[in-house]
Structure 1
Amino acid sequence: MNSIATIKNDAFSEKIEVQDNWIEVLGSCDGLVLLLNEENEKFLVNPVTLQQAKVPDPPVALEKWESFTMHGFGYDSAIDDYKIVSVSYSFNDEDYDTGFVDTFVDVYYVKRGFWKRVENSPYAHTFHDPPSGVFLNGAAHWLASIKDSRHRSVIAAFDLVREVFDEIPAPSGINANFVFCTLVVLGGCLCLVDARCNKKTDGNRTDVWVMREYGSAESWMKFSIDCNYYERYIIARPLCYIGGDEEIVWTTKEESLVIYNLKDKTFRDMIVDGFPAHVLNGCSFVGSLVSPYL
């Protein structure tokens, strides 16, 4: 596990000596990172202090082979506690897309050390590769759809204080289906990445939508990235701005990091310790001394 810090155009990494069988980053908040390992165990890790604490499974945990689970991690300011949200679906193997049987939404209070079953989500979280919940403005966000005949796509936000789901308005100009979209936080704003442009008519283009004012449908701003001249890589998701707001660090489908310059509209490899950066799974976080044991 490596931590990469960026100063303008230079980057350096620091090896973090913790167990290295992590397979997925489930969330990050206040310098704490929620990680999943090969044994399907969850840990809260502080990459600065190297402390790590195992998170117990929910009381009624579904087997991995018979379900899938999405996680969110964030801070509840009302009770001064961190919470982990688990949205689990059991399904019918004969019909993966429509055969969902049960839904469970559980919340783990990190300081208090217990799980709580809450009201189920009113949305369908049925994407084949469910990402981690994006924490912003006191809520964990996922792409989802309305449970009706139209299956309209929405951004579902789980409020960590009220422990209920709300709907965040999506950009009006985006395609109705979110299957190939990615939701992230970029520069403190909710960001939706749409890489489904028709190459025959639009070229190899990625559209990026940024919600400048949280919760305001009119505040979505769009910019597009032309990737035709950078066909070595397929950009996947943005991690953060560097050097102000002119350049964005992206992960790619080829498990590397690249930097895109918004002004010059050019890509370049991100060089770390003299070599191109290689990232299987990552997130951005601000270092702190917060203990995962709390």
Structure 2
Amino acid sequence: MANPYLPQEILIDVFSRLPTKSIGKFRCLSKSWRTLLTTTEFIEFHLTRKTHKENLILVNPSHSLHVITLPIENDSVPRNLELLNTWTEVVGSCNGLVLLLNDEVKVFVVNPITLQQVNIPDSPVALKKNESFSMYGFGYDCSNDDYKIVTLSYYDTDNEYEPDCIDTFVDVFSLKRGVWKRVSCSPYDHAVPDISSGAFVNGAIHWLASSRESGYRSVIAGFDLANEVFYEIPPPNDVDLARFVFYKLVVLGGCLCLVNNTKSEFWMMKEYGLVESWTNFKIDVDCEWDIVKPLCFIGDEEVMLINEGDSLVVYSIKDRTMKDMVFGGIPSMFIDGGTFVESLVSPDFNG
């Protein structure tokens, strides 16, 4: 039982240093502790400690979810996540919440640690799914203390004129308010070869797109979640401005990462917004499969990736070697994945 003479701020300070799973156990030991440990104030303070473990969340070929805690040890084994559905894509994560899509393109926000989940309703103004293309993004708007889902959707005109995409509609869902709204159409052409999820960094969700100006140069378009407007991020100086729209844009090591899959080449923006901060590395070994998606760094010299063979592989930047990621003596097979931090944040603002 909680000590009635121990100041609440002391209790909060002590509990905030504990792992997320331990907090769940302590919530069951005392009514007063449960009340304290479920307050919004405690959950937010616990999140700010920045000591929470990072995890991989992975979708296997059977479309179930698995989680593995980083850093990976020799005896690490992915654990099955008891969130039953036919999962197809990990869109992104923020503060311990993960946005997932299922095979019916239904959107879910889940906390993989507490197993809370919320099924996000379709936008009432959304384009028909069988007649359009859509890309999703997920992030946190710190100015309004709100988590937002952004959908870019468009009809592909499929004609000989440029730009190919006449209008890209931008819909934003507020988890805090529980409503969708449509904002102004995107100023960019989003009819890109790879219908990819947005990359959330520095309060904005980013996609590759083409300018509508003469020449249709490739751009990195950021969507500011606070102001709900688009702006451009400068690309690396050594990329082809007419071609990098064919690349992939992801988050790697907390940074924007531009990936040329066909050449297995990577650029990372180490300091957000500064063109001089783009750094480059390349996979210098022969690969049977193209790289689909980088997931995370293992230490400072290795990066884990998913390849076209649905395998997890690890590339050593220092040694220039590639190896299969093996769990329990068996090479791992996953079709998509991402990272998230452990947290107590609930996806249900209205629960």
TM-score w.r.t. the length of structure 2 is 0.77
* Matched-pair identity in %: 52
Q: Distance in 2 between matches of 1:250 and 1:155?
A: 22
- Determine if the alignment matches structure 1 residue 4 to structure 2 residue 64: no
Distance 1:99 1:124, change over 3 A: closer
Pick the aligned partner of 1:252 from 307, 324, 330: 307
Please give the secondary structure, in 1, of the residue aligned with 2:336: coil
Pick the aligned partner of 1:186 from 252, 265, 271: 252
Which stretch shifts more, 101-110 or 256-265?
A: 101-110
Q: Which amino acid aligns with 2:296?
A: C
Q: Kindly state the Cα deviation for residue 93 of structure 1 after the two structures are TM-superposed.
A: 5.2
Q: Distance in 1 between matches of 2:198 and 2:289?
A: 25
Please give the secondary structure, in 2, of the residue aligned with 1:120: coil
Q: Distance in 1 between matches of 2:94 and 2:334?
A: 20
Q: Distance in 2 between matches of 1:135 and 1:227?
A: 30
Q: Which amino acid aligns with 1:217?
A: V
Q: Which amino acid aligns with 1:16?
A: L
Matches within 5 A, 1:1-294: 1-10=65-74, 11-92=76-157, 98-176=163-241, 177-197=243-263, 206-228=264-286, 231-242=287-298, 244-294=299-349
Deviation readout 1:178-211 (Å, 9 max, x if unpaired): 24311111112111111344xxxxxxxx221111
Q: Kindly state the Cα deviation for residue 270 of structure 1 after the two structures are TM-superposed.
A: 0.7
Please say if residues 91 and 102 of structure 1, whose CA atoms lie closer than 8 Å, have aligned partners that are also in contact: no
Please give the secondary structure, in 2, of the residue aligned with 1:167: strand
Please say if residues 143 and 155 of structure 1, whose CA atoms lie closer than 8 Å, have aligned partners that are also in contact: yes
Q: Kindly state the Cα deviation for residue 20 of structure 1 after the two structures are TM-superposed.
A: 3.0
Distance 1:69 1:226, change over 3 A: same
Q: Distance in 1 between matches of 2:127 and 2:230?
A: 22
TM-score w.r.t. the length of structure 1 is 0.91
Distance 1:57 1:8, change over 3 A: closer
Q: Which amino acid aligns with 1:210?
A: M
Q: Distance in 2 between matches of 1:128 and 1:235?
A: 16
Q: Which amino acid aligns with 2:268?
A: V
Q: Distance in 2 between matches of 1:41 and 1:8?
A: 31
Q: Kindly state the Cα deviation for residue 50 of structure 1 after the two structures are TM-superposed.
A: 1.1
Q: Which amino acid aligns with 1:293?
A: D
Deviation readout 1:248-292 (Å, 9 max, x if unpaired): 111101111001111111111111232111111111111212111
Question: Which protein is bigger by CA-based radius of gyration?
Answer: 2
Q: Which has the higher strand share?
A: 1
Q: Kindly state the Cα deviation for residue 234 of structure 1 after the two structures are TM-superposed.
A: 2.5
Let me know the Cα RMSD of the aligned residues: 1.7
Q: Which amino acid aligns with 1:162?
A: N
Deviation readout 1:151-175 (Å, 9 max, x if unpaired): 1001000000010001000011012
Q: Distance in 2 between matches of 1:146 and 1:99?
A: 11
Please give the secondary structure, in 2, of the residue aligned with 1:284: strand
Q: Distance in 1 between matches of 2:224 and 2:179?
A: 18
Q: Which has the higher helix share?
A: 2
